Amino acid sequence: KEKLKDDALLKKSLSISKKNWNKEDFNWSKDLKKALKDVFKIDKLRELQLPTINAVMSNEDVILIMPTGGGKSLCYQLPAVISKGITIVVSPLLSLMEDQLYGLQKHNVKARMLSAKCDKENVKIIMNALIDKKSDLKLIYVTPEYMAKSNRFMNKLQKAFEMKRLDRFAIDEVHCCSQWGHDFRPDYKFLGILKSMFPGVPILGLTATAPAKIIVDVQKMLDIQGCLVLRATFNRPNLYYEVRRKPTDKDTCLAMIENLLKNRFKDKSGIIYTTTIKDAEQLTTDLRALGLKVGCYHAMLEADYRSEVYSKWISGKYQAVVATIAFGLGIDKANVRFVIHHCISKSMENFYQESGRAGRDGKKSVSIVLYRLLDIFKLSTMVFQDKVGLQNLYKMLAYCLDQTSCRRSLIATHFEEVWTRTDCAEMCDHCRKPKESKQVNIAPYCRQLYQIMTKAVQSETRLTALKLIDAWYGKGASTLRVSSIPVPKFTRESGESVIGHLLVNGYLQEDFHFSAYSTISYLKRGPKSALALDNSHEIPFNYELH
Ligand code: ADP
Ligand code: MG
Ligand code: ZN
C-alpha cells in the first residue's frame, strides 16, 4: 500500500514537472508582466522565478530551493499582488519580516505583520482585513509561534478560507521544519496541519538549504509529498575561490591582509570575517594603525553605531568591514568585490553564504580563506554541542586542507550538485594553477602522535593541539616529549595539516572539558585508532609535506 502511494506521488511529481512552467500565455501572464514593471520596477525575472510564479498561480504546492540573495521573496510577493485574496507568509525572524515590509511599502504593496510584539490596533486591522472582501491587504507576515498560539488568528483564517479569501501560504526558511536541518525550529511543526485544515490552499516553501534528505522531510512534515520541487543551481561562476595558509606570526598575517587591501583590492569594497568579537575589534585596530579605512561590526555594538558603520561602508568611506557573522542579514550591496575569512567558517553552509555576499552584481569577485589548524579549536568549542556541529566544522576543515581538488567541486558536493573543472573555468586557485597530486601515508605519524598521547596520559596531562604539536616538534614541556620519536622533517604547518587530516578522518578526536570560564578542547585517540595501531594500516593523504 505504502509502495502504491509512493508510486502515485512520483507520477504526480513527474507530470507536474513535465509541464512547461516557463510559458507566457497563462491567464495571468499579462498582469504578471505589468506588475513586475509597474509595482516592483524590475525589468527581467531571474532563473526559476517565472516557473515558480506560474506554478504558484496554478495552485500547485511548490518547494523552491535557491541560494540566498537569489530572489525567492518575489515568487510570492508578485503572485500576491496579482491575486484578489490574501497571502500568508510564515517567516521565522522579525528582522527578516521588517526588511520585507519596508521594501513592500516602498512599492506601495499593502502588507502587515503579526507577532507577539504587535499592538492591539494593528492586530485588529489584520483580523478584520482577513474577512473583509473590500480590503486591499495583500500579504500578512506571521511567525510560526504566533500561529501556533493564536486561536483567534486561526479562526479568522478559517473564515477567510470559507470566504475563498485565503489564496496561499508561503513558508520562508522552510528547512526549519526538518530536524535534519541546521536550524530546526519546533514551532514549524505546527505548520503540518495547514494542508488538512485548509484543503486546496497551495503551499510554497522557500529555502536555501539543498540536501534531498531535508527536502523530503519537509514535504512529509507539511503533507505535500510529491509536490513540485524547483531547484536553482548554487554555482556562483563569478566568484573566485582561494585558500591560503594563515601565517602563525600575527604581524606577518597583518602584512598579508594589508597587502591585499592596498594592492589586489585597492579601491575595492569587501568584508573581513572573524570568529569572535575580540578578534574583530583587534583586527580593526591593527588595520587602522596601518592606515587602512575599515569599520568594525558585531552584535555587541549599539544599533546606531552599527548602522553608521554600515552606511560608511555602503558609501565607500570604509573599504572593508571587519565583522563577526552578525554582519550578514539584510546586506544589500551589489559591488562587494572580496570576502576574506580571517578564520574559517563553522560549516560549508555558512562559508557559502558568507563568501556569497561578494559579487551579487555578477562581476568577478574573490573569496579568500586564511586557514590555520589552531583556529579550528576556537570554533569547535563553540559548536560541539550542536548535533552535527563538529561534523560540519570538519567538512570546512577538509575544504581548507585539500591541496588539489577544484574548490568549486568541493562546494558542489555539499549542495548535492556536480560541478566540474569546466564549470569552474579556472575560477579557483587549484584550477588556475593545477598541482600534481602527491599521496603520502601518514599512518606512521599517527602512531607517533599516539605514543606522545600515551606518555601524556601516564603523566596525567591532557594535550591541547598546541601542546601535542609542541611535543612532536621537540618544544614545550620536556616531560611530554618522547625521545624515540624524531622531530618531523617537514614544517610545523605541514605537521598541523597532518593532525587536521587525522581529525577529519576519525583517527584523532576532540575531548571537551569545561573550566570555570571556558571550554577547552584536548586531543585524544579517535574512533579509528584501533585500525591505525596495526602497522600495516595506511592513511593516505593527498598532501605535499614540506
Ligand atoms: P532570497 O530570499 O532568495 O535570499 P530576496 O528575495 O531577499 O532573496 O532577494 C534578494 C534581492 O534581489 C532583493 O534586493 C530583491 O529585490 C532582488 N531581486 C529579486 N528578484 C530580482 C530580479 N528579477 N531582478 C532584480 N533584482 C531582483
Ligand atoms: Mg529570503
Ligand atoms: Zn576550480
Dist. CA 370 → ligand 3 center (Å): 18
Instruction: Give the residues surrounding ligand 1 with Cβ less than 6 Å away.
Output: 42, 44-46, 49, 66, 68-74, 332
Minimum CA distance residue for ligand 1 atom 12? 71
Residue 47: how many other CB atoms lie within 10 Å: 13
pLDDT of residue 326: 87
Q: Which residues make up the environment of ion ligand 2, defined by Cβ < 5 Å?
A: 72
Ligand number, closest to the Cα atom of 353? 1
At 179, list the grid cell: 530536524
Question: Minimum-distance ligand to the CA of 36?
Answer: 1
Q: What is the set of active-site residues?
A: 72
Paired strand residues for 370: 244
Give the residue among 109, 117, 123 at the shortest CA–CA distance from 38. 109
Closest-lying ligand 1 atom to the alpha carbon of residue 49 = 23
Q: How far is the CA of 74 from the centre of ligand 1 (A)?
A: 7
Report the alpha-carbon distance of residue 275 to residue 287 in Å, rounded.
Answer: 17
- The ligand that comes nearest to the alpha carbon of residue 241 is 3
Reference 208, options 406, 325, 22, 348; nearest CA is 348
Which of ligand 1's atoms lies nearest the C-alpha of 67?
3
pLDDT of the residue at 423: 86
Distance from Cα 432 to the centre of ligand 3, integer Å: 7
Spacing, Cα 358 to ligand 3 middle (Å): 17
Sign for the CA dihedral angle at 500, 502, 506, 510 comes to negative
Respond yes or no on whether ipTM tops 0.90.
yes
C-beta separation of 350 from 326 below 8 A: no
Nearest CA residue ID for atom 21, ligand 1: 71
> Closest ligand 1 atom to the C-alpha of 72?
3
197 Cβ neighbours under 8 A, 6+ residues apart? 154, 158
User: Closest ligand 1 atom to the C-alpha of 43?
Assistant: 24
Place of cell 596525567: 460
- Residue 268 corresponds to which amino acid? K
Task: State residue 334's pLDDT score.
Answer: 87
pLDDT at position 415, please? 83
| Set of cell numbers at residue 371 | 586557514
The protein residues having their C-beta less than 5 angstroms from ligand 3 (an ion) are 406, 408, 424, 428, 431
CA of 249 to the centre of ligand 1 (A): 42
Taking the C-alpha atoms of residue 302 and residue 308, their distance in angstroms, rounded to an integer, is 10
Secondary structure in 3-state letters for 124-140: HHHHHHHCCCCCCCCEE
Helical segments of 290-328, H only: 303-314
In which element (H, E) is residue 512 found? strand 508-514
Looking at residue 10, its pLDDT comes to: 66
Nearest to 487 by CA among 475, 476, 497: 475
Residue 14's pLDDT is 66
Other beta carbons less than 10 A from residue 447's beta carbon: 18
10-residue averages of pLDDT along the chain (546 residues): 66 72 94 97 92 96 91 97 97 89 95 91 95 96 94 96 98 88 82 96 93 89 94 92 94 98 98 96 98 96 94 96 88 91 94 93 96 95 89 96 94 85 92 91 97 95 96 93 94 95 97 92 97 96 93
